[in-house]
Amino acid sequence: MIGVALFAAPFVTYRANRIVAGEPRMLLQALPTMFAIGVMVLALGIALIAAFVRKPAARLAAATMGLSVIFPVVGLSAGFVTPADNTFARVSPALGFWLLALAFGLLVADSLTRLRFGPWARLAALAIAAAAVALLLLSGAWHNLSLLKEYTTRAESFWREAEQHVLLALGSLAAATAIGLPLGILCHRVQALKGATLQVLNIVQTIPSIALFGMLMVPLGYVAATVPLAAAMGIRGIGAAPAFVALFLYSLLPVVANTVVGLDQVPAPVVDAARGMGMSRRQRLMQVKLPLAFPIILTGIRIVLVQNLGLATVAALIGGGGFGTFIFQGVGQTAMDLVLLGAIPTVALAFAAAVILDAVIDLTKRTGP
């Protein structure tokens, strides 16, 4: 992969303006000669370390060094290939850059897995990575890249859509938790209800997101037309309302199922001991069962949050906003940088949410009730 990235794939793509087709630039064309040779030597050295060195710490250090070099270097490349005083040219990372980033990223992930970092160490690593990205953006190293130029012209709408995206994901998660947790407890207590409830939620989960959004547009549109208060609250056939309801429905199954599984897996001797101590049914639930089931319930919440952060992009198709707005605009305009402006923050949010909640789950397992 590294060999292809260095010698067979373009490092950046140059376009005279936003509309015309791009021209590939190989690594030796995209950077000053000494910089290009330095990147090649470094990348080949990291490839040798990955192939012959088995110490995870050394592999992690090498991969981290590679990432810390190629990300600023691609910004340098944008300034190098763009003619002076040209404000119309666009330079984008190309296949060679993405292959190098993927190779080094996979090496980092493999090294971290082998090192078996604890939850606090993983959170610290995430914080360091976030600080590095922030420093890269604030330093202006990527100022000449097309991605940052797209952001500059849309900065206000970017943060507005970011807020909408997060509100859709977190709001639907909060609603699903508020409804799904009691429903899961009820299914745990009433076994006859469990099968039917989970079956219905499984059926909802199989409906494609676009289809579910479309199915909700008609009833919500009718509610908005017949109930003035609903319309005043922003409930309409298009927009955020059907997107919120769809994400809520998708979120119910993981929350309810994990609540049921967590409560069912509480050891019977523990429950019997609590009963023998004179605890009431409510006390056994609140003080014994739920604390023991909490890591499994939290796993369901983690699944929902990561899922919703991704699915919220589809909300843009029905006017719900979010990062999907840039993705679908970019697809319609054949503007890959605009697609990335919506896709990269979505992936970053989902990744950060997964790391944080995984760490919280590990901490709850270690501390126990």
**pLDDT at position 271:** 80
Q: How far apart are CA 149 and CA 221, in angstroms?
A: 38
Q: How far apart are CA 81 and CA 152, in angstroms?
A: 20
**pLDDT at position 291:** 86
Helix axes 336-367, 146-153, angle to 10 degrees: 90
**pLDDT at position 131:** 93
Which domains does the chain possess? 2-145 (no CATH), 155-367 (1.10.3720.10)
Which tokens belong to 26? Answer: 């190989």
- The pLDDT tens digits along the chain (369 residues) read 788 888 888 988 888 776 677 788 898 888 898 888 998 999 999 989 988 888 989 999 999 999 999 999 998 888 888 877 777 778 888 888 999 999 999 999 888 888 888 888 889 988 998 999 999 888 888 888 888 888 888 888 999 999 999 999 999 999 999 999 999 999 888 888 888 888 888 888 888 877 887 777 777 777 767 777 666 666 766 777 888 888 898 899 999 999 998 888 888 888 888 788 878 888 888 888 888 888 899 999 999 999 999 888 888 888 888 898 999 888 887 778 888 889 999 999 999 999 999 888 888 876 555
**pLDDT at position 234:** 65
Phi first, then psi: give them for residue 132, nearest 5 degrees: -65, -40
Other CB atoms within a 10 A radius of the CB of residue 195 amount to 10
**pLDDT at position 163:** 92
Cα dist from 134 to 137, 205, 276, 344, whole Å: 5, 37, 56, 14
Q: How far apart are CA 25 and CA 251, in angstroms?
A: 45
**pLDDT at position 368:** 52
Decide: 117 and 52 in contact? Cβ < 8 Å: no
**pLDDT at position 15:** 83
Contacts 24+ apart (CB under 8 A), 22-29: 22/90, 22/92, 22/94, 24/94, 25/77, 25/81, 25/94, 26/96, 27/96, 29/81
Radius of gyration (Cα) for the chain, nearest Å?
25
**pLDDT at position 162:** 92
